[in-house]
Amino acid sequence: MNSAQKLIFEIGQPGRIATDLPQSDVGEQLASALIPAELQRSEPASLPEVSQLELIRHYTALSMRNFGVDTGFYPLGSCTMKYNPKVNEDICRYQGLADIHPLQDEASVQGALELLYNMEQYLAEISGMDKVSLQPVAGAHGELTGLKVIRAYHRHNNENRTKVIVPDSAHGTNPASAAVCGMEIVEIKSNEDGSVNIEALKQAVGPDTAALMLTNPSTLGLFETNIEEIAQIVHQAGGLLYYDGANANAIMGIVRPGDMGFDVIHFNLHKTFSTPHGGGGPGSGPIGVKAVLRDFLPSPQIEFDGRLYKLDDTNPLSIGKVHAFWGNFGVIVRAYAYIRTMGPAGLRQSSIDAVLNANYCLAALKQDYDAPFEQYCMHECVLTSKKQKQYGVRTLDIAKRLLDYGYHPPTIYFPLIVEEALMIEPTETESKETLDGFIAAMKKIAHEAETDPDIVRHAPHSTVVGRLDETTAARKPNVKWAK
C-alpha cells in the first residue's frame, strides 16, 4: 500500500510540520486572554502531522485518482462533457479580467462590459433570439428566470396563466423550475418514437397555459420534427414556448430555436460552450428572449450608446436581479473565448461532428444492445440493457464494468421513460480511435453478460473501492480518520 492509499492521518509522525512560521509575537498569554474561555480548546486539535513533501505527494496522488475529461473518455449523456480548451483558462485569468471588481466604476471596466455585450449578441445570433441576459448561473437557474419572465409577461397583459406543459421525457429541472416559480405542471405523454404527442398537447393547452417547456433535440437524443406545428398550437392558445438549451450542442449553426418558434431559451455555457463542469459548478445559464419579452429580462441590462457601455437598471417591467453583479463572469469569459476561437463555421462543424460521433456509437452498438428508437440520433444516443437482462445483468452492472475498462460510464436510468436506459454522449472532441476503444469495451461487456454474467454483476474489480451501497455511501460517507 503506497501512502496515497492511506489517509493523511496515517502518514507522517508526531511533531512533523509542513510550514515554517515565525514565532508569534502576540504571546500565548495575551492570545488566551483575548479569546473567550468557552471558545478555547482544552486539548490540541487532532490534525495530521506531515512534512510539506508528504502533503504534496498525498494530494497529488489523490488528484490522479480523479477521473475527468482531461484523463479519459467521459460519455455522460445530457451533460456534454466535451474538452475544455486550455486557452479559455488562460484568457479568463488575464489580469484585466480576473482582477477587476464588480463594484468598480463602469468607466473603468469598459472592456469587460464590451465582452459581455458582445457575448449577448453572439448568443442571440446562435439562438435566433432578440435579447439575452447573462445573469443566471446554471441551466436550472435560467429555467426559473425564463419562467419568471414569462409569468411577468402574462401578468402585464392581465392574463392569469399558471400552467406549464412539460413532456414526460423532460429533464427533472423543468417541472422543478416551474414548481419553484409557483406554476402548475401539466405532464404530457410522449409517442412510442419519443416525439411529442400532438393530440395530448392539443388536449392540454387552454386559456390557463403559460408555456410549454421543450428540449429539442429531446432528452432522448431525438430531433422533434413537428416543432412548427407544436409552436403553432401553443401560440394559438396564447401560451409561450420555452426552449431548454441543454442539448444545443447538436444544433449550433444548423437550426435556431428562435426560428423554430421558441420565445425563451436558456443555454448551458458549461455544457455547449466548453467551460469546465462537474462537481457542481460554477456554471452559467444565460437566457435569450424574443423582442416582446425583452423588457421583462433581469436588470441591469448592458446598453451601448455608440461610445460607452452602461449598466441600465431603470426598466420598470424587469423581474429584477436574479444573481449578484454580472452572473458568473469567469465562466462567461471562457465561453466567449470558445466562441471566438471556433467562429461560426467551427461551431457548426462541432455540432455536425457531435451528431456523427453519437450515430457512429449507436450504429456500432445496436446489435449488442437494444436500441429503443429506430431513427438517427442527434448528439447522444439511448441504448438499453434489455438483452442483458435475461442473464441477470442490469444497466448499473454495465456502468460499473466500464470502470474496469477505464471509461467513465454513460448516463444511466435517464431518460426516465426508457427502461434500463444507457445514454451515451461522446461529444465532437473525441477521435475515432477513442470511440472504437469504447465500443470494443461495450461489446466485450455484452459478451461477458452472456458468458460470465457474474464478472459484470460484481464489477468493478480494478478500482480502489468495489461496489458500494450507494445510499449508505452518500448518506454516511466513511472518509474520516477512524481509530
Give contact residues for ligand PLP (rule: CB under 6 A).
78, 138-140, 171, 173, 215, 219, 244, 246, 268, 283, 285
- Long-range CB contact pairs, 63-66, < 8 A, 24+: 64/4, 65/4, 65/464
Beta bridge mates, 245: 267
Closest to ligand PLP by CB, 145 vs 388, is 145
Set of cell numbers at residue 90: 488562460
- Distance, in Å, from the CA atom of 347 to the CA atom of 253, rounded to the nearest integer, reads 6
Contact (CB, 8 A) for 272 and 245: yes
Number of H helices, E strands in the chain: 17, 12
Smallest separation (angstroms) from ligand PLP to the CB of 309: 27
Within 10 A of 33 (CB to CB), how many other CB atoms are there?
10
Concatenated DSSP letters for 236-292? Answer: HTT-EEEEEETTGGGTTTT--HHHHT-SEEEE-HHHHT----STT------EEE-GG
Is residue 95 exposed (0-12), middle (13-18) or buried (19+ Cβ within 10 Å)? exposed
Set of cell numbers at residue 202: 392539443
Smallest separation (angstroms) from ligand PLP to the CB of 221: 11
Nearby residues of 368 by Cβ (< 8 Å), 6 or more positions away: 387, 442, 443, 446, 447
Closest to ligand PLP by CB, 165 vs 246, is 246
Task: Choose among 348, 353, 378: nearest CA to 125.
Answer: 348
Beta bridge mates, 211: 164, 240
Nearby residues of 418 by Cβ (< 8 Å), 6 or more positions away: 220, 372, 382, 384
Smallest separation (angstroms) from ligand PLP to the CB of 234: 19
Smallest separation (angstroms) from ligand PLP to the CB of 370: 23
Smallest separation (angstroms) from ligand PLP to the CB of 172: 8
Smallest separation (angstroms) from ligand PLP to the CB of 382: 13
Smallest separation (angstroms) from ligand PLP to the CB of 268: 5
Closest to ligand PLP by CB, 380 vs 420, is 380
Contact (CB, 8 A) for 394 and 212: no
Smallest separation (angstroms) from ligand PLP to the CB of 282: 10
Concatenated DSSP letters for 1-29? Answer: --GGGS-GGGSS-TT--S--PPPPSS-HH
Smallest separation (angstroms) from ligand PLP to the CB of 142: 8
Closest to ligand PLP by CB, 270 vs 290, is 270
- Distance, in Å, from the CA atom of 112 to the CA atom of 308, rounded to the nearest integer, reads 12
Q: Scan for cell 452472456, then name that residue.
A: 450
Concatenated DSSP letters for 116-135? Answer: HHHHHHHHHHHHT-SEEE--
- Distance, in Å, from the CA atom of 53 to the CA atom of 9, rounded to the nearest integer, reads 15
Smallest separation (angstroms) from ligand PLP to the CB of 372: 18
Closest to ligand PLP by CB, 209 vs 219, is 219
Closest to ligand PLP by CB, 167 vs 283, is 283
Smallest separation (angstroms) from ligand PLP to the CB of 263: 17
Closest to ligand PLP by CB, 209 vs 411, is 411
Closest to ligand PLP by CB, 139 vs 300, is 139
Element (H, E) at 470: helix 470-475
Closest to ligand PLP by CB, 81 vs 115, is 81
Closest to ligand PLP by CB, 138 vs 449, is 138
Rg, the chain, Cα only: 26
Closest to ligand PLP by CB, 112 vs 138, is 138
In this chain, which residue has its C-beta nearest to ligand PLP?
Answer: 139
